[in-house]
Structure 1
Amino acid sequence: MNILDNIVADKRKEVDLRKSLIPIKQLEASVLFGRKTHSLAAALRYSDSGIIAEHKRRSPSKSVINQRLNVQDVATGYQSAGVCGMSVLTDGKYFGGSLDDLFLARASCKLPLLRKEFIIDEYQIIEAKASGADVILLIAAILSKAEIKTFSELAKSLHLDVLLEVHNEEELQKSIMPSLDMLGVNNRNLKTFEVSLETSKTLSEQIPDDFVKVSESGISSVNAIKELQPYGYKGFLIGENFMKTDDPGKSAFEFIRELNE
C-alpha cells in the first residue's frame, strides 16, 4: 500500500465514526450551512496573482512544517496579503488539521475557503458546507468517475465550488465533466514524492478552457509561477513555502508583491 491507500483506509473508519456521532440533519441545521458562499474560481479568473495560500501543520512527506501558529492569525495574515483563497487541511492523523481549523478560519476572514480533505463520502461534503467551506477538493486518484460525478453534483447543489485534482493523463481523462469548476494538477508523484512542474506543463493542453487551471505542489518561487502562467494556469496552491516561516501572511504579502513587480 502507498501512503494514499493508507490515508483512504483510515479516512473510511474516521468518516463512519463521524456519521455515527453527528447526523446529516444536525449538519444541515448549522448556522453556516445557509451562508452565501464565495467563488474561488471567479476570484482566480480575475486575479493577477492567483495565489491559494494553505494552512498546513505537517505532511507525510515533510513531517512537521509549523505547529506553533494559530489558524486565526494565519487567515487574517493571508487576507491582508491579498491572496485569492485559503486552503485549510482538515485531516488530523496525517496533516495535523481538523474541522475546527476551518471554523476558525471562517470566523477570521472573508476569503473563499477550500476544505483540503480526502473526500470519499457525500457526508464530508455536507460537513464542509456546515463548517464554512466555499470549495471542496476531489482527488481523482482515490475516486471513480461515478463518484466524481456524484460528489461534484452534490457540491454544486450546495453552491460549493469544486476543485478536482489529478496527477496524470489517465486521471484527467476520466475526470472532465461540467460539474467541476477548477482542474488542479498536482506536481508531486505520489509513489516517489518527487516534484516536477513538467507535470503541469504536459497536462495543460488537455484541460479545456471552461475550467480554471490550478497548479499544486512544488511552487516555491515567483519564477515557478511565471513559468506556468503561459500554459494557462490561473491558480497556484502554495502551502509549505509560507507555512514554514514565522509569519505566513507576511511571506505571502512579499511573494505577491514580488510577483506583481
Structure 2
Amino acid sequence: MNILDEIIAHKKQEVAKLKQEVAVEKLVKSPNFNRTSISLKKALTVKNSTGIIAEFKRKSPSKGIINDKVEVIDVTQGYLDANVAAQSILTDTHFFGGTVLDLIQARTVNEMTPILRKDFIVDAFQIVEAKAIGADAILLIAAYLTKQELKNYGKLAEDLGLEVLYEVHNKEELDKIELNNKIIGINNRNLKTFEVDLEHSIQLANQIPDSCIKVSESGLSNPRVITGLKEYGFQGFLIGENFMKTVNPGLSCQAFINQL
C-alpha cells in the first residue's frame, strides 16, 4: 500500500464516522453557508495578480513536522500583507496536522481573498462541509477519484457556489476531466512516491486547453521557476512548504513575491 492508498483508506473511515456525528442539515444552517464565495479563477487572472496560492500546513507524510509553532491567523495575515492571490489550508488532521478550525479561523481575518480547502475529498459530505466552514474552492484529486466522481463532485461544488481545483499528475489523470473552463492543477509531486519533478508541469501544460487556468503545485522554491512557468501559460502557483518551513511564513512569502 502506497502513501496515497493509506491516506484515502483512513479518510474514508474518518468521513464515515463524521457523517454519523454531524447532520448535513446542521452544516447547511451554519453562518458561512450563505456567504457569497470569492472566485479563485478571478483572483488568479485579474490584472497584476501575483498568482501565488500560499498554503498553511503544519506537517506532511514526506517531511514530518514542517512548522507547528505558528498560528493560522498570524500566517493568514502575513500572506494577505504579501498580496497573495489566494490561500490554501490543509484540513486533514491525521497526515497533515490541520483541522477545519484552521480554515474557520483564517476566514475571520481573510474576507477578500479566496480560500482553497485542501483535503482528500472522498464523499459529497466534505463538499457541503467545505461550504459550511467558509471555503471558496475545493481540491479534487484525479489520482484516486473516478471520472464519474470528478464530474459529480465538481457539479455539487458548482451548485454550492464553490470553485474546484482539479489536480492531476499525468496524462491518464488529465483524461478523466472534462477540460473546459476548469482550474487544472499539475502536481509536481507524485502522491504515490512523494517524489518531486518540475518537468511534470511543463510536459502536461500544452495538453491543457487555453480555456482552462493552469496551476503548478509543489516543489516551487525559486521565484525564477515561477517566471519560467509563466511562459508555459501557468497563472497559479501553489506554494506551502517553502514558506511554512520558515519562522515567519508571511514574511518569507512577501520576500518571495517581491522577487517576481
Identify the TM-score tier after normalising by the shorter chain. over 0.9
**1:64 aligns to 2:39 (yes or no):** no
Q: Which runs of 5+ in 1 are unaligned?
A: none
**1:137 aligns to 2:136 (yes or no):** no
Other-structure match for 1:225:
226
Name the Cα RMSD after superposition: 1.0
Q: Which one-letter code corresponds to 1:41 in the other structure?
A: K
Q: Which one-letter code corresponds to 1:243 in the other structure?
A: M
Cα deviation for residue 177 of structure 1 reads 4.1
Q: Distance in 2 between matches of 1:256 and 1:208?
A: 27
Other-structure match for 1:126:
128
Return the TM-score normalized by structure 1: 0.97
Other-structure match for 1:149:
151
Identical residues among aligned pairs (%)? 53
Count, aligned residues = 258
**1:181 aligns to 2:187 (yes or no):** no
The answer (yes or no) to whether the contact 1:138–1:163 under 8 Å persists in 2 is yes
Other-structure match for 1:165:
167
Q: Distance in 2 between matches of 1:32 and 1:181?
A: 24
**1:246 aligns to 2:240 (yes or no):** no
Other-structure match for 1:73:
74
Q: Distance in 1 between matches of 2:235 and 2:159?
A: 25
Q: Distance in 2 between matches of 1:148 and 1:3?
A: 21
Q: Which one-letter code corresponds to 1:51 in the other structure?
A: I
- Show CA shifts across 1:64-122 (max 9, x none): 10000010001111011100000000000000000000100111212200000000100
Q: Which runs of 5+ in 2 are unaligned?
A: none
Q: Distance in 2 between matches of 1:84 and 1:75?
A: 12
Q: Distance in 1 between matches of 2:178 and 2:206?
A: 13
Other-structure match for 2:35:
35
Cα deviation for residue 189 of structure 1 reads 1.9
Other-structure match for 1:94:
95
Q: Distance in 2 between matches of 1:120 and 1:191?
A: 17
Q: Distance in 2 between matches of 1:123 and 1:20?
A: 11
Runs ≥4 residues deviating over 3 A: none
**1:4 aligns to 2:4 (yes or no):** yes
Q: Distance in 1 between matches of 2:86 and 2:240?
A: 12
Q: Which one-letter code corresponds to 1:153 in the other structure?
A: K
Which structure's residues are more often helix, by fraction?
Answer: 1
